[in-house]
Chains A and B, each alone.
Chain A
Amino acid sequence: MTRLPAGGLIDRGKPIAFRFNGRTLTGFSGDTLASALIAHDVKIVGRSFKYHRARGILTDGIDEPNALVTLGSGARAEPNCRAPSVELFDGLEAYSQNCWPSPNFDLMAINGLLSRIFVAGFYYKTFMWPAALWEKLYEPLIRRAAGLGRLSGDPDPDTYDRSHAFTDLLVVGSGPAGLSAALCAARGGLRVLLIENDSRVGGRLLSQRYKVDGELGTAWADAALKELVANERVTILTRTSLFGAYDDKSFAAVERVSDHLPGAAIGRPRQRYWKIVAAQAIFATGATERPIAFGGNDRPGVMMASAIQTYINRYAVAPGKRAAIFTVCDTGYEVAADLAAAGVDVAAVIDARRQPGRSLAFAPAISGEIVRTFGKSLTAIEVRRYDGGVERIAVDLLGMAGGWNPNIGFASHLGNRPDWNESLQAFRQEKLSDGMMFAGAADGALTLTDALASGEAAAARVMSPASSMPPIGTSAQASPHVVRAIGQKVFVDFQHDVTVEDILLADREGYRSVEHLKRYTTLGMATDQGKAGQVLGHAVLAQHRGVEMAAVGTIAARPPHTPVAIGALAGMHRGEHLKPVRLTPTHCWAAENGASFVNAGLWKRAQWFTRAGDADWLASAVREAKAVRSAVGICDVSTLGKIEVEGPDAALLLDRLYANMMSTLPVGKCRYGLMLREDGFVFDDGTVARLDESRYVITTTTVNAVAVMRHVDFALQVIWPDLRAHACSVTESWAQIAVAGPQSRALLQDLLPDIDLSNETFPFMGAVAGTWDGIPMRLFRLSFSGELAYEIAVPTNHGDALVRTLARLGQTYGCTPYGLEALGILRIEKGHVAGGDLNGQVTAHDLGLGRMLSRKKDFIGRAMAERPMLVDPGRQALVGLKPVDPTQRLSAGSHLFRSGAAHVAGESQGHVTSVAYSGVFDQWIALGVLAHGPQRIGEVIVAASPMRGTRIEVEVCNPVFFDAAGERLRA
């Protein structure tokens, strides 16, 4: 147990039991998993990616590359959690990753023995022979080694929330700079949103023993928090990681709502995804301490000095019993002092600067470098003094104080690359997007005093853009430091096992751009995205090649700044809630009548209505289709798009939208209409009804309802803004029901006794507006089925009453509800195109509708429809197809071949677009497109589906299988 007897921001009155690799351990409220493990002297937490080297805790935060664990078990198992950022809670379970059987003894560590072979990019040079072994042997071996943690494979059982925030000022980070910026802006009257990744505000103040305004830093932070909380214009989100900066001052963050709570949080989301729009944003995101490159710098027990400071001061745990600090700047001395103050034996401070900073009362300050380390977990270091001596010092803890990298990645999210600042010896963000500023250590203000001033100045600048930022000091900073290796590997990427040698190898092989270096060695591609070691790696390259850091450059950070759960970004839009469900006005009635529903875009439409005695869905559909042909059927067609067009120029507009003429349509009549895209291919079809001189209602297919509305608006607002016409979607305003079959007139006459529906007064393609039961009603004599048929529309909220009334009145006539499958049979029997036939690749000619293209007017698509290949007579055009052997079943997607032709690509002359079982003909029939199709009626050809292994002889026929003369629909 290395818990210090006193101090820390932990609550010793609240012990917490947790499990690590099956062992039950205890910590205190306020601990992280990392601090609690340190309290139990756990040194080795996991294994590295490639060589499976033992990995201890390196840092104190979210960018930890080493101590990754899987939290929880079963469906809640969460891989790759950073132990230093996991708050301890009662019942927490954590497991080491990427090791077997245990982190202390990992069989895959054999990879380390092969490390002389397994250098950067070795896999590009081997595993090529024989080729067949790649999928069979080499790749499975590589994939077995892939990855770190493991997904459970079960659906994520938790829920995720989504929220929006709008603010004058977003402050990211609540260290000294962030707090002072927030305080200053709040006092100035701004709405402030302060975001902190940690569970409490304070940033580095929580890790250090500095005083602010005469009081301890933590007390100052608490007071600041109190003032901010009391200000109603301030919102504070802790446990919240800002992860991305996007266009127009939009930012994204994830709040960990219940991850830190024991058990599955009932009634709470696991996390909440925040979308933030902020007029101004101050990034007080601090700086990340750089490691130092020296032999054996990855050994468990070697830690960032700043992390040691955090564990000592904030968590009151000592990560070792005898410590040394390897420093290249003044911060190492502070950490050494904190260790000494906590009662930890400090063996030495090794200062790699040629002139040591100061002498210490409690330990020798050595001017020199560490060249090697020893032990499975650290037992000793070898120091080479600049005065020539070599010394071995027994320690079990070593802090690396290698200087600081300001956390400026968010600027790169918007495409602003950082610049190397020679005096700061770090990348600093000079170019900024509008409304974005860095403050504190993130801007190079590395000391407490500077950071406080920087935060205040940033806030002042938000309120008064003319005010300037204070100059930055550099006393806590140093150049990236690389020690010449002797015998031991020198790591720059601890998780991915990238060494100095790997970087030199990449350089030798020409992978010199930092992007090539990254991709070849995987430097910076680990879960910390290079925050720990990437700049150090680039410094290795710069020093090796003798060029400035500025010439080497660095990698642009990409969102997310810290990794984000896919579930959190999806929010509630999963499973059945991926997209909204649209229900037809008669949905309840259909469900009561045995309907099975199918997706049609976002709509749920009745596919068929199961009745007692139906053998299967096909029997239901055939029964329904037969009922339409022999009596009467009703079907909800409300999903068709409906657009009202009104105005003195409405007719002219429709003439330009449709390929055929609409201005000649008499009032009280409907006409079939064909719309082309501007590129001349068929866009959509539907009907146009003229309700009065300047008022039309047009229908679209279900799938194109939105696109046609957009198209109409484009024509009206962009192409012909001078036309005096308006258009409005009324799809959701009207319930529309098709009433089809020989008895449809009788049924509707019963429904509408006041309107004369006789063929003479209301013939085929008639349209009338009237009332039903005192409510507005529109009746169209349209037929998709080829039968005498009507479509009746009433306001949507009356649709249910209408369908129930029709069903009741229809009992006399054998009225049968029919669904999409029967609709499909009926329309294929009539050769009407729909769905798969209208795939955006067909012309009007292909569909046998070429004669509809008006030659008397301009219309959208006319010019392009006349391109040579669109009027080529050899194009595949619509035909009917029926198997020569009537017992055979066709499948859509079969290709068509001349009889006797080889079934190879060049011989395919078309394909089957849709099929149906026709009850009328008692066999499968189909529509298809066939080269020169209309000239080949009567020819026997072959429909083949190689994937199904079928070859069926079919006869080419007129696509209108049933009642080609159209007598029934005019009856």
Chain B
Amino acid sequence: MIISCPHCGPRDSSEFYFRGEATPTRPEYDAGTAAATGYVYGRINPAGPQKEHWYHAAACRSWLLVERDTRTHKFLSVTLASEQGR
């Protein structure tokens, strides 16, 4: 697979570390353990497009927010995770 890193351009996926589904916002501590359990262990795990986090470990060290189809491995979009919501 080839991932187009916003900083580094198209790079082989072996440079990246896959973390998983980009789960909803991390709950604050006082949101309680149920919210935390959902954050840590809840997975939609869709067969289809999924937003997920990849880390460009071997280069710019950016966390990327990626949309990718889990049935075809096709990348639909790649952005910097840090720029979400800004």
A–B touching in complex (CB under 8 Å): yes
Name A's B-contacting residues (CB within 8 A). 246-250, 277, 415, 678-679, 706, 709-710, 713-714, 716-719, 721, 858-859, 862-864, 866-867
Contact B84 A864 (CB under 8 A): no
Give the nearest-CB partner of B65 in chain A.
A718
Indicate the member of B39, B81, B86 with the most A CB atoms within 10 Å.
B81
The answer to whether A718 and B82 touch (CB under 8 A), given A247-B73, A862-B29, A864-B37, is yes
Name B's A-contacting residues (CB within 8 A). 1-2, 17, 19, 26-33, 35-37, 39-40, 53, 55, 57, 61-63, 72-75, 80-86
Contact A866 B33 (CB under 8 A): yes
Contact A864 B40 (CB under 8 A): yes
Contact A867 B33 (CB under 8 A): yes
Contact B57 A710 (CB under 8 A): yes
Contacts of B28 in A (CB 8 A): 858
Contacts of A858 in B (CB 8 A): 28-30
Docked Cα-Cα span, A860 to B13, in Å, equals: 28
Give the nearest-CB partner of B29 in chain A.
A858
- Give 7 A-B contacts (CB < 8 Å), ordered by A residue: A248-B75, A710-B57, A718-B81, A718-B82, A719-B26, A863-B36, A867-B37
Contact B84 A721 (CB under 8 A): yes
Contacts of A706 in B (CB 8 A): 57
Contact A713 B72 (CB under 8 A): no
Contact A250 B2 (CB under 8 A): yes
Contacts of B32 in A (CB 8 A): 863
Contact A864 B36 (CB under 8 A): yes
The answer to whether A714 and B72 touch (CB under 8 A), given A706-B57, A864-B37, is no
Closest 3 CB pairs of A and B: A863-B36, A858-B29, A248-B2
Contacts of B61 in A (CB 8 A): 709, 713
Contacts of B33 in A (CB 8 A): 863-864, 866-867
Known: A415-B72, A709-B61. 20 other contacts (CB 8 A): A247-B2, A249-B2, A250-B1, A250-B2, A678-B39, A706-B57, A714-B55, A717-B62, A717-B81, A717-B82, A718-B82, A719-B26, A721-B82, A862-B29, A863-B27, A863-B32, A864-B40, A866-B33, A867-B33, A867-B37
The answer to whether A863 and B29 touch (CB under 8 A), given A714-B63, A717-B63, A718-B63, is yes
**B7 CB to nearest chain A CB (Å):** 12
**B12 CB to nearest chain A CB (Å):** 8
Docked Cα-Cα span, A717 to B79, in Å, equals: 12
**B73 CB to nearest chain A CB (Å):** 5
Docked Cα-Cα span, A185 to B36, in Å, equals: 57
Indicate the member of B17, B26, B57, B84 with the most A CB atoms within 10 Å.
B26
Docked Cα-Cα span, A718 to B75, in Å, equals: 20
Pick the contact of A713: B26, B63, B86 (CB < 8 A): B63
Docked Cα-Cα span, A64 to B83, in Å, equals: 56
**B85 CB to nearest chain A CB (Å):** 8
**B55 CB to nearest chain A CB (Å):** 6
Contact B2 A277 (CB under 8 A): yes
Contacts of A678 in B (CB 8 A): 26, 39-40
Docked Cα-Cα span, A863 to B37, in Å, equals: 8
Docked Cα-Cα span, A863 to B83, in Å, equals: 27
Contacts of B1 in A (CB 8 A): 246-248, 250
Docked Cα-Cα span, A247 to B62, in Å, equals: 23
Pick the contact of A721: B19, B53, B81 (CB < 8 A): B81
Contacts of A709 in B (CB 8 A): 61
Give the nearest-CB partner of A712 in chain B.
B61
Contact B40 A679 (CB under 8 A): yes
Give the nearest-CB partner of A434 in chain B.
B74
Give the nearest-CB partner of A713 in chain B.
B61
Pick the contact of A718: B17, B35, B53, B86 (CB < 8 A): B53
Pick the contact of A710: B17, B37, B40, B81 (CB < 8 A): B17
Contacts of B26 in A (CB 8 A): 678, 719
Docked Cα-Cα span, A247 to B75, in Å, equals: 10
Give the nearest-CB partner of A727 in chain B.
B61
Contacts of A864 in B (CB 8 A): 33, 36-37, 40
